[in-house]
Amino acid sequence: MKVRQEKRERSVYGGCSNAHVANVVNLFSFFFLIFFSSSGQDAISIMQEAEIVLITTSLMGIKSSFFSSLRAQNLLNCKKFLYVVVDSNRDTSTAKNLKDEELFNQWKEDELLQSNENGILLPQVLIDGVSIGNDIALQNLEDEGNLDFIVSRLKCPNCLQEKSNTDVQCPHCKYDYVSLISEELIRDNAVVRMLQGELYNEEETAE
């Protein structure tokens, strides 16, 4: 099973590499666009390029996982990130005619998901097919200033090393990035997409 590699020890440089400077300039440009181009609740963070999937549970019986799922959603909402919510609760998926259960089982089979002594880690966030962990791991990435770089594809979500936003494989850890949500699933409304705490429909937003 692929497990996120431990953070590599940061090197201290006397100067900045050209790649580092370019990435910083790119991210600054993203922030500039967000500040001046955000248009209310329907505005997606312009810096977002990566696909974000949040696996949650709606089972109130598992209180710790349920409230941790809410914390992860709250952070993603505050960041104005567009993300897909996949509910691991089979009954909810069936009742809403969603593909959540099918996707969840497929990702387990493909060993994309992290687990612990209690089973599959819930909640769990995947960015470009890489599991970054639970709500605590997500908050840590935000606190350490890495989350924005990852979502803008300027850092690898697996090893946190700098990279180009066009890379399909990390040049450092060689992790292959994949899209987990197909255009067909989105078109058929077979998954739930969220933006700032509300259901997101691209067609309705365009109108």
- CA dist 3 to 33, 41, 133, 149, Å? 34, 35, 10, 20
What tokens does 163 get?
């990279």
- Predicted confidence (pLDDT) per residue in 7-36, tens digit: 333 332 333 444 444 444 444 444 434 433
The beta strands (E) that lie in 89-161 are given as 115-116, 119-120, 124-127, 130-133
Is residue 124 over pLDDT 80?
A: yes
Q: Where residue 42 falls among pLDDT bands split at 50, 70, 90?
A: low
pLDDT of residue 118: 85
**Residue 54 belongs to what domain range?**
18-206
pLDDT of residue 17: 46
Tell me how many domains the chain contains: 1
CATH code at 32? Answer: 3.40.30.10
2 within some domain = no
55 within some domain = yes
7 within some domain = no
Q: What percent of the chain has pLDDT over 70?
A: 74
44 within some domain = yes
Is 72:53 a contact under the CB 8 Å cutoff? no
What tokens does 138 get?
């997500």
